[in-house]
Amino acid sequence: MSLETVSENRSFGGTQGVYRHVSVATGTEMAFAVFVPEHAAGAKLPVLFYLSGLTCTHANVMEKGEYRRACAEHGIILVAPDTSPRGEDVPDDENYDFGKGAGFYVDATEEPWAKNYRMRSYIEQELPDIIARNFPADMDRQGIFGHSMGGHGALTISLRNPGRYRSTSAFAPIVSPLNCPWGEKALTGYIGQDRAKWREYDACALIEDGARLPDLLVDQGLADNFLEEQLKTHLLDEACRNVDMPATIRMQEGYDHSYYFISTFMADHIAWHAERLKS
């Protein structure tokens, strides 16, 4: 598989790059960002996948997430993929919460979405293989985190793949797509009307059905205007408490849903992951 370098820039002693390739999973070109910190020749570094939220691409966290200093300090590669397939022939929707920029990290089964909207396969299978082949990544030391729709993606992907990720965290995640308008719209459109099939894309349902994480870190702003209707963090707290699954869920006074919030707690999350990604 050919990997095209779009750009590379020196930052905090390491390299911030953007790369592009033709994806087998989505049938489109896909772009992603990778920060590789300075490291000894031949060294393999732990890798942390960051999944972005609605309307975003790799560029949002790359430009506003303020993660490079912390990644350089802890010696962690950070990978930031896109949120959906792109291209003129890719189906889209006029609303921001469905279609391009809103792949919801699912493998769609409904037409016309099923051909291209296979972000679950892309994140779980194709992208890790590309990272392993092209970057100095120790794939035995993987972590995953994300924001909003990407927080939903990080939680569900980690819960469905026990043992793959040593660490999982999220900023303001959509914790239960079964119980919010964003999730109901996306899963109906991509997966169909059978709500039983939605459960593998709902973190709370996965926990109720027996999936577990060794621990979990979540930060949620109390001034987030999506908290009550869409995010419903209390449902994740209840699901974890009901099965005694360790989880640190921090409700942050005054913070909203923006990258001002994410960048404030980004270094905390990277340090938390670093503790769990040590050799």
Distance CA 162, CA 200 (A): 13
pLDDT of residue 148: 98
148 included as an active-site residue:
yes
Query: Which pLDDT band holds residue 93 (cuts at 50, 70, 90)?
Result: very high
Residue 234 catalytic? no
pLDDT of residue 216: 98
Average of per-residue pLDDT values in the chain: 98
What percentage of the chain's residues is helix, strand, coil (to nearest 5)? Answer: 35, 25, 40
Q: Give per-residue pLDDT as tens, 143-156.
A: 999 999 999 999 99
Q: What is the pLDDT of residues 34-55, one digit of tens each?
A: 999 999 999 999 999 999 999 9
Question: What is the band of 264 on the pLDDT scale with cuts at 50, 70, 90?
Answer: very high
CATH class, range 4-277: alpha beta
Catalytic pick among 84, 147, 224, 269: 224
Contact 222, 174 (CB under 8 A): no
Q: Which of 74, 147, 257, 273 is catalytic?
A: 257
Predicted local distance difference test score (pLDDT) of residue 16: 98
Check whether 274 has a pLDDT greater than 90: yes
Whole-number Å distance between alpha carbons of 5 and 152: 29
| Residue 1 pLDDT exceeds 70 | no
Give tens-digit pLDDT for 181-194.
999 999 999 999 99
Alpha-carbon distance 20 to 25, whole Å? Answer: 14
Task: Note the pLDDT tens digit of each residue in 209-236.
Answer: 999 999 999 999 999 999 999 999 999 9
CB–CB of 39/45 below 8 Å?
A: yes
pLDDT at 13 over 80: yes
E strands within 23-148? Answer: 29-36, 45-51, 77-81, 137-147
Given 23, 52, 84, 148, the catalytic residue: 148
Q: Is 147 a catalytic residue?
A: no
Pairing of β 77-81 and β 29-36: antiparallel
The domain spans of the chain are: 4-277
Task: Kindly give, in sequence order, each residue whose CB lies less than 8 Å from that of residue 45, ignoring residues fewer than 6 positions away.
Answer: 36, 37, 39, 75, 76, 77, 136, 137, 138
pLDDT value of position 232 = 98
